[in-house]
Every structure is written in C-alpha cells, then in structure tokens.
Amino acid sequence: MSKDHPIEYLNYFLKLVFNIIKTMKFQNMIMLLILLSIGFSQSLQDGDTLVVHPITWETPSPEGWGAQYKQIIQFPDANEPWAKIIMMQTLKCDSATNGDKYPCGEWDYIWNTFVDVPRGDSTETFSIGSFVTPYGKRLIMGGDDGWEWTYDMTDYAPLLKGERFVTVGNNQELLDLKFLFIKGTPARDILKVENIYPYGHHKYGGLSDNEILKETKLQLLPEAKGFKMKAVISGHGHFGPRNCCEWDSKTHTYYINGYELFRWNVWKDCGNNPIYPQGGTWPFDRAGWCPGTKVDEYEFELTPFVKAGDSITIDYGIEPYSGNGEKDGEFRMAHQLFSYGSPNFKNDAEIVDIIAPSSQGQYSRVNPSLGSPRILIKNTGEYDLLSLEILYGLKSRKKSIYKWRGNLSFMESEEVYLPIPNWHGLSKKPVFEVALKNPNGIKDENPFNDKLTSNIPLPKILPREFTLQIKTNTVDRARENSFTLFELDGSVLYSECDFSDSTEYNFPIKLKNGDYQFLFKDDMEDGISRHWWYRNSAPEKIGINGEVRFLSLDGDTLHQFNPDFGQELLLNFRVGRLP
C-alpha cells in the first residue's frame, strides 16, 4: 500500500488494527492510535492535519490538592514542516473531578502547561501556556461539550518533537487535550526556543529591588534572521491599599544592552468575559488574567534592534513599589526568546479567525450576529501588506468582495469589519466562509491559509411590538446603567439613561422587519446583580437583583437577561422571518 495515497493508506492501517483495539483498554488504545497517526504523518500533504490526543474525558482526574495531569506524550519525531501547531484545551464540569465536591472547582486557580525537554543528563522545563480556571460553583460551562480554548503553539515546534513529559490542567474540571499539527510551510522557520527567565513565582519587592531576574547574557544564533521576545505575566495576592498584585496594574520593562527597549502594562479587562455568570468577583479587571481565561501574552519583535551572532544582555524591570505593604504581592511569569529563519513568503496574507458570525464560545458575547462580519487577518509575507481582496458570504452562494487597504508589517494583524453581505439562504445553510486573494495585487504564495469557515448561530426572532422592562438595583447603582437599541447601520431608535434606584421601567418598542442590536451597559462593570460578597463585611451594600427582559404585549417573557453580566448585555435579534 503506497503512502502516495494517504486516505487509502490510513484505511488499510485502521482495518489492520481494528480487531486489536477492540480488546485494548481505552488509554492504551488512545496511545496506539497516536503512534499510528504519527507514522501516518509522513504521508500527509500540505494542509492536512495530524491530531495528537493524549488526554480525554475518560482520563482519570488527578488526585491531590492542586494536582495536575502528567503525561508522556509522543509527538511527531520527524523534522516535518508544520504550518501551524494548535493546542486545543477543552474543560468540562463533571462530578468525576477530584478537586472538590463541585462539578467545576469552586475557586479560580492558575495552572500552566509545562514541557520537559532533555538537555544532556538533565531536563529543561518550558512553560508553553498559562491559564486560570473559572469560578466553578454552580457554573454552566458549555454543557456536555465543555468549553474550548485554543493556543497557537507554532513557535514551540522545536520542543514538541518525539517523546515529551507534559504537565497540564488540574483537577477542578475534566480536561480534553489535543494538539493539531497542520502540515505545510510556516511564515518563518522556528530555529530555537530559549528561556530568558524560566517560569517562576516572584515577590514584587524582589523583582523591583532587582534581587531576582537580574541582567542575563545570551548569544544570538548566527544563522538566525529574526528574533522575538515573549512575556507571560500574571499578578496575584492582596497586599497594600490596592490589593497588589492581583488588582493593581504595574509597568514592566525589557532592557537590551542597558537601554530600555520595550515597556508595557499588565492589565486585563474582565467585564465582557464570555463565560458568565460565574461565582465570585469575576467581572473585575485583574493583572493579566480573568477567571476562565488564558493569561495574556506580550510579544515583542526584537529583529530590528540586534544582529545575529551577537552577544546581548537582557534585563527585566518593574516599576518601584510604594512603602505600603504592596511589595509582598506576587507575580508569576515566564520570559522566552525565539529565533527564526527568514520569512518563507514575500506576499502572503492569512485569515486567522472569524469573530462574527461565529459559534465559538470565546466570541459568544457578540454572537449571534447578522451585522457586519468581523475577521482577523495577518500579514505572513515579508513585504508590507498594503492591499487585499476579501471574498465572503454564505457557503455555496455568490460572494461579496471587499477591497481592503492598509499597511501591515510582517506578522502584524488587524481586525477587519466587512460590509453586511446578502444573507439570502441563511436558514437552509448557515455556514459563513471567507477567502483572501491577491495580497498587494499579486497571487498569494501560500494558498493553505487563505480560507476559513464558521457555523452561523441564528439570531433570536422577536415580534414587531414588545415591551422592554427594566427593574433597577438599589444602593445607588441604577445611575450606572443605560440602554440603546440600534439599527444595524448604527441609527439609534431607543435609548435611556439616568435611572432611579428600585424602579420598574416599561418601554414600548415598535419595529419594522429587519435586524437590530440591543445594548445594555453598566458603567461599573459589575452587572445589576446582588453584591453577595458583602454579606459578612458590609451587608448594607448587597442590594437586590435587577432585571432586564423583553415581554410580549400579553406580558409573557420573550427573553430574560441574566443580571450577573459584568460590563454589558448585547443581543442581536431579528424581526420577521430569516432570509
């Protein structure tokens, strides 16, 4: 059986092992399929995907406080060119977890994905992802399918080879873990990954006083053509008047050869967290993370400032602490250097993702949507991207064409809002697709990253006339709220603010057939739910749950919003039949 025919070759092997795997234990069966798929990888064509699936729902939940999954994973051995490597992490609330008595862990916990790489007689550990679990008590998180997060692991290709010991997840939720190896040519070859400062937990005071993470010297690869630095930092602890370092934004700096080169603040907006409602104070902004999100990653292109083969010094710094106790707060961080070959393409544009319309959980705050499609594009060619044709619309239907103009340097990305396409036929085939063509007026050199599709979640259908009912909160919080009802062109049809506490408002709504957007905002980004966390310290601040809902003219509930929504409620809906 020739490997020149990959589908036939795979079928041959599946038939060969079918009777074997029927009698094997599940985990052994998974490992056998992984090994077979890795052998099959040598027959993959560009654009094909090899899946390594080491952890499933059936993998036993780790036992012990904060215990993590620990697995020896067999990654592809061969020096295959991978256009992309994606890690798919799916978590599910389930009574089989061993963290506590709840299906999802009661509290938010941080964990990392670590890969141990042999270095002679020892090993070096790399952090390739950092994540904080959601507040899980009574959490609904994707149901039986769980909730999925994806990580672009392409830069870690030199590490994800052969047999590796991997530590990942914890026992708060069940974990399903996959690695997708997509055959093809990357934007630039990844030559080396180095720890500048390996992952660690560090006191703010020690960092600021330069007692730790001191200046270090690195020898740049002489054959490299490009370099990038990456920092993954999260703040923790409740010290000083601003509860450092979980709740306090601090400035971080990289110094190269003694000169300040990159400076950034570590702070993350949590008010529109797609996983809601959660327990606890989930909507409030934090230092680099939110409950139920990946820790933010900060990347800096070093190429213009150094020369291959040089010896350089790198130093990390953080703003000085105040003498108010905050120095005892903690930061968890990893700093890495990536070395690359030259760009593999001169003119290449990549469609990175479809934000709307999309059924992905991470974009659920802005979906369903029949408004302007939102996509993310990236310049993966050496030449600056100045123009691009974007074809988009329903699958198997005539496409709209948008001629994008801009200026993206190599590896820069941009979110693009497209004009609303013709949605006729949506109800029969709700699949959206995008294709990129002619970057800089030239045929794209890499056709394997030009197309993407998404499933379209259908919008809620409402009658032409209904009532918007708002019942406000107490404790002087009603003034934080406002609402607007728009047409898709941005025209405001209804709006109101300056609400009074503990009051019921009823707004009669009359609309024509078409698509609309309702937006309800809370300026303090804490929704209109009770502040139950004050029950012991300040019960007078608890307040009541407010309400926002749509009612029929007969008083029946058409749509009920959850009051624990954080920053805003957004609902795209339609009046009349779907096209």
Q: Which of 104-113, 131-140, 252-261 is least confident?
A: 131-140
User: Which residues fall within 8 angstroms of residue 260, CB to CB, at 6 or more apart?
Assistant: 253, 254
pLDDT band per the 50, 70, 90 thresholds, residue 10:
very low
Please determine, for residue 340, whether its predicted confidence score (pLDDT) is greater than 50.
yes
**Contact 218/254 with Cβ under 8 angstroms?**
no
How many other β-carbons are positioned within 10 Å of the β-carbon of residue 29?
Answer: 15
- The candidate with the shortest Cα–Cα distance to 389, out of 337, 441, 322, is 441
Structure tokens at 124: 């070096």
Please determine, for residue 9, whether its predicted confidence score (pLDDT) is greater than 60.
no
Across 344-430, the runs of DSSP E, i.e. the strands, are 349-356, 374-379, 385-394, 400-408, 413-417
**Per-residue confidence (pLDDT) for residue 22, from 0 to 100:** 38
Question: What does each C-alpha distance from 163 to 81, 117, 153, 159, 483 come to in angstroms?
Answer: 18, 9, 17, 10, 55
Please determine, for residue 3, whether its predicted confidence score (pLDDT) is greater than 70.
no
463 burial type by CB count under 10 A (0-12 exposed, 13-18 middle, 19+ buried): middle
Sign of CA dihedral 130, 135, 136, 140: negative
Helix (H) or strand (E) holding 16, with range, is helix 6-21
Question: What does each C-alpha distance from 36 to 46, 55, 544 come to in angstroms?
Answer: 19, 17, 58
493: left (phi over 0), alpha (psi -120 to 50) or beta: alpha
**Per-residue confidence (pLDDT) for residue 555, from 0 to 100:** 97
Please determine, for residue 6, whether its predicted confidence score (pLDDT) is greater than 60.
no
Q: Which of 66-80, 219-233, 429-443 is least confident?
A: 66-80
Listed ranges 102-106, 420-424, 528-532; the one with the highest mean pLDDT: 420-424
**DSSP states of 155-166:** GGTTTSSSEEEE
Asked if omega into 274 is within 30° of 0 (cis), the reply is no
- The candidate with the shortest Cα–Cα distance to 184, out of 91, 80, 58, is 80
| % the chain with pLDDT above 90 | 87
pLDDT tens, residue by residue, 496-519: 999 999 999 999 999 999 999 999
Please determine, for residue 370, whether its predicted confidence score (pLDDT) is greater than 70.
yes
Q: State the average pLDDT over residues 332-353.
A: 98
Please determine, for residue 21, whether its predicted confidence score (pLDDT) is greater than 50.
no
Structure tokens at 355: 């934000």
Length of the chain: 579
pLDDT band per the 50, 70, 90 thresholds, residue 214:
very high
User: What whole-number distance in Å separates Cα of residue 351 and Cα of residue 92?
Assistant: 29
User: Which residues fall within 8 angstroms of residue 97, CB to CB, at 6 or more apart?
Assistant: 61, 103, 104, 105, 171, 172, 173, 174
| % the chain with pLDDT above 70 | 93
Helix (H) or strand (E) holding 462, with range, is strand 460-462
Please determine, for residue 351, whether its predicted confidence score (pLDDT) is greater than 90.
yes
**Per-residue confidence (pLDDT) for residue 65, from 0 to 100:** 86
pLDDT tens, residue by residue, 116-170: 999 999 999 999 999 999 998 878 898 999 999 999 999 999 999 999 999 999 9
pLDDT band per the 50, 70, 90 thresholds, residue 44:
confident
**Per-residue confidence (pLDDT) for residue 468, from 0 to 100:** 98
- Written as one letter, the residue type at 22 is K
**Per-residue confidence (pLDDT) for residue 42, from 0 to 100:** 60
**Per-residue confidence (pLDDT) for residue 550, from 0 to 100:** 98
pLDDT band per the 50, 70, 90 thresholds, residue 41:
low
Q: State the average pLDDT over residues 541-545.
A: 93
- In the DSSP assignment, the letter for residue 369 is -
pLDDT tens, residue by residue, 295-323: 999 999 999 999 999 999 999 999 999 99
Structure tokens at 420: 């609303």
User: Which residues fall within 8 angstroms of residue 25, CB to CB, at 6 or more apart?
Assistant: none
- In the DSSP assignment, the letter for residue 457 is P
User: What whole-number distance in Å separates Cα of residue 466 and Cα of residue 92?
Assistant: 37
User: What whole-number distance in Å separates Cα of residue 533 and Cα of residue 542?
Assistant: 8
- Written as one letter, the residue type at 178 is K
User: Which residues fall within 8 angstroms of residue 40, CB to CB, at 6 or more apart?
Assistant: 6, 9, 10, 13, 50
Q: State the average pLDDT over residues 374-391.
A: 98
**Per-residue confidence (pLDDT) for residue 5, from 0 to 100:** 39
Q: Taking the model in full, what pTM does it have?
A: 0.91
The strand order across the sheet containing 174-183 reads 49-55, 174-183, 82-92, 147-152
528-543 exposure pattern, b = at least 16 Cβ within 10 A, e = fewer? bbbbeeeeeeeeeeeb
pLDDT tens, residue by residue, 482-496: 999 999 999 999 999
- The candidate with the shortest Cα–Cα distance to 379, out of 312, 436, 418, is 436
User: What whole-number distance in Å separates Cα of residue 230 and Cα of residue 295?
Assistant: 13
**Per-residue confidence (pLDDT) for residue 8, from 0 to 100:** 38
pLDDT band per the 50, 70, 90 thresholds, residue 475:
very high
Q: Using the structure block, give the residue that is written with the tokens 């769980």.
A: 146
Asked if omega into 54 is within 30° of 0 (cis), the reply is no
User: Which residues fall within 8 angstroms of residue 511, CB to CB, at 6 or more apart?
Assistant: 462, 464, 465, 493, 575
Pairing between β-strand 385-394 and β-strand 431-437 as defined by DSSP bridges: antiparallel
Q: State the average pLDDT over residues 429-440.
A: 97
Q: State the average pLDDT over residues 275-296.
A: 95
User: What whole-number distance in Å separates Cα of residue 437 and Cα of residue 444?
Assistant: 6
Work out the mean pLDDT of the chain and round it to a whole number. 92
Strand partners, 317: 253
Q: State the average pLDDT over residues 224-235.
A: 98
Please determine, for residue 30, whether its predicted confidence score (pLDDT) is greater than 50.
no
**Contact 354/432 with Cβ under 8 angstroms?**
yes
**Per-residue confidence (pLDDT) for residue 266, from 0 to 100:** 98
Please determine, for residue 18, whether its predicted confidence score (pLDDT) is greater than 80.
no
Pairing between β-strand 147-152 and β-strand 413-417 as defined by DSSP bridges: unpaired
pLDDT tens, residue by residue, 48-88: 999 999 999 999 999 998 899 999 999 998 788 999 999 99
User: What whole-number distance in Å separates Cα of residue 47 and Cα of residue 421?
Assistant: 28
The strand order across the sheet containing 122-132 reads 69-74, 163-168, 110-119, 122-132, 293-294
